[in-house]
Amino acid sequence: MFGAEGRKINRVSKLAAQARGLPPDRALPLLLEARALGDELLAMDPGDPGRLRATGSLLYNLGGALTQAGRPEEAVTVLEEAEECYAPLPGTEHLIADVQCRRATALAAGGRGASAVVTADEAVHRYLRLEAYEDDSPYYADLARVLVMNARVLHACGDPDLAVAAADEAIGMYTGYGQGATFDITQENLNYLVMALEVVAEALTVREPDRAAGADESIVALLDGSAYTADLARACARLGQRGGGAAQASRARELNARQAAEALSRLREPGRPALAESLAAAGAAGELGSLVTSGETMPIISGRVGGDPSLAAEAGRRLAGYATRLLRTDPQHGQRLALEAHYLFAFASRSNAPELRYAFWETGQVWAGLLADATRSFAEAGDKRMALDLVGWLAGVMRNLGPLALADPGAARLVAQWEELIRRTTAGR
């Protein structure tokens, strides 16, 4: 192609190639220039499949660079635009899943954990719909990668037990001990395998130190002598902290002192309770314990109910009752239950469960009340970003509830209270 249009296309391709592999501070100017040119090209022919696909790919890379550069809110917006580019194109289900996975990472980095976990769950689900677990699936390695990122999101802001289960599943896929086919451990796959092992090492340091140490020893064995000194330093630092001796601690500092210090700092962060612990605190382990065991079998949020939207809606209602009571007396466990109930409601809604499609007032009212109580609890605990995330979900539920409350004065008063909470929480954001 010749002329100004052809020169723009060539320039975009060149900029994207130059940005590949660069650190985010150097890649961003190139990708932002490419994005501006890409927008001009797409505006010339908005429905062209090739341009939509190229723009989606560019925005996907830009979103990743923005997250790495500490600009997660911008990344979320860019990645939403990437998904919009892919959505009308056939054969892009796997690309949309990858975008959602990257957006979940950005959401978690921005403190929007309630949205991050739901988005990561949807990304894994898309690959499951593509039968990525099958031995001959071209998406088997992609599923392993997305499971790793799901584990990292859960580790950052979800149930630590489910994070470990997701990481273990991915580790099994990479090393040949899980379901499906095995595949070559390329450099990219090695990176994701190390990420999964690090989730296990961090999440189990207190509860299962031997398993945690084993994960770090695996990282050392995989990376010893490689150029990946940051990952190696973190593993050595954790081993030294757990009783591996001064030699490991010293080696960690020699490899990368900043990363070693960061690893130790993360180990000192207070842990969040697992769902099993919070159910026990609420006295609901007998009634709702299957949510824990089912999640171990299918290590994603929707796996807690075997992927059944109606079961998710029912379990969400039951969890919400325990969460509301516990938020007043034991906020940490109450918050865990509230988030888990929200995740189940979100999955049920996304999957068009009849309870939310045809009887929205009954279930939606429970969901909204839960979100309101959880918003207040996180705000009182000083977690403004999570409160804002939850109140955003509340506003979404309210858009469907509001019209249904018009004929019921009592319901209208409740809706007015929630609307006031939304205004207070978002004021000055």
49 within domain boundaries: no
Q: What is the pLDDT of residue 178?
A: 44
Instruction: Give yes or no: residues 216 and 169 share one domain.
Output: yes
Contact between 159 and 150 under an 8 Å Cβ cutoff? The reply is no
334 within domain boundaries: yes
Contact between 114 and 393 under an 8 Å Cβ cutoff? The reply is yes
Contact between 140 and 134 under an 8 Å Cβ cutoff? The reply is yes
CATH code where residue 248 lies = 1.25.40
Copy the structure tokens of residue 370: 């839960």
Closest among 160, 144, 248 to 202, alpha carbons compared:
160
Instruction: Give yes or no: residues 248 and 343 share one domain.
Output: no
DSSP 1: -
Instruction: Give yes or no: residues 260 and 326 share one domain.
Output: no
Instruction: Give yes or no: residues 177 and 253 share one domain.
Output: yes
Q: Coil, strand or helix: which one is 56? A: helix
The phi, psi pair for 107, rounded to 5°, reads: -60, -45
Instruction: Give yes or no: residues 255 and 313 share one domain.
Output: no
Contact between 299 and 124 under an 8 Å Cβ cutoff? The reply is no
Instruction: Give yes or no: residues 325 and 240 share one domain.
Output: no
CB count within 10 Å of CB 41 equals 17
Instruction: Give yes or no: residues 137 and 253 share one domain.
Output: yes
Structural domains of the chain, count? 2
Contact between 150 and 158 under an 8 Å Cβ cutoff? The reply is no
403 within domain boundaries: yes
Q: What is the pLDDT of residue 180?
A: 46
Q: Coil, strand or helix: which one is 197? A: helix
Instruction: Give yes or no: residues 253 and 373 share one domain.
Output: no
Copy the structure tokens of residue 233: 């330093």
CA distances from 302 to 119, 307, 309, 357, 358 (A): 11, 5, 8, 18, 21
Instruction: Give yes or no: residues 313 and 382 share one domain.
Output: yes
**Which residues, 6+ apart, have CB-to-CB distance to 297 below 8 Å?**
303
Q: Domain residues for 256?
A: 132-269
Closest among 164, 241, 248, 166 to 207, alpha carbons compared:
164
Copy the structure tokens of residue 194: 């190390």
Closest among 125, 159, 145, 121 to 301, alpha carbons compared:
121
Residue type, 271: G
194 within domain boundaries: yes
141 within domain boundaries: yes
333 within domain boundaries: yes
389 within domain boundaries: yes
Rounded to whole angstroms, the Cα distance separating 44 from 1 reads: 14
Contact between 94 and 142 under an 8 Å Cβ cutoff? The reply is yes
CB count within 10 Å of CB 403 equals 10
Q: Coil, strand or helix: which one is 84? A: helix
Among residues 269, 289, 317, which one ends one of the domains?
Answer: 269
Instruction: Give yes or no: residues 258 and 321 share one domain.
Output: no
CA distances from 344 to 17, 243, 394 (A): 41, 40, 15
251 within domain boundaries: yes
Copy the structure tokens of residue 198: 């690090």
Among residues 269, 295, 316, which one ends one of the domains?
Answer: 269
Q: What angle do CA 414, 388, 334 make, to 5 degrees?
A: 70
Question: pLDDT in tens for each of the 429 residues of the chain?
Answer: 557 888 898 999 999 999 998 999 999 999 999 999 999 999 999 999 999 999 999 999 999 999 999 999 999 999 999 999 999 999 999 999 999 999 999 999 999 999 999 999 999 999 999 998 887 899 999 999 999 999 999 999 999 999 999 999 999 998 885 444 455 667 788 899 999 999 999 999 888 999 999 999 999 999 988 888 999 999 999 999 887 678 888 999 999 999 999 999 998 888 889 999 999 999 999 999 999 998 888 888 888 998 899 999 999 999 999 999 999 999 999 999 999 999 999 999 999 898 887 778 788 899 999 999 999 999 999 999 999 999 999 999 988 877 766 666 777 788 888 889 999 999 866
Copy the structure tokens of residue 192: 């994701």
Instruction: Give yes or no: residues 143 and 262 share one domain.
Output: yes
Instruction: Give yes or no: residues 181 and 238 share one domain.
Output: yes
Q: What is the pLDDT of residue 105?
A: 97
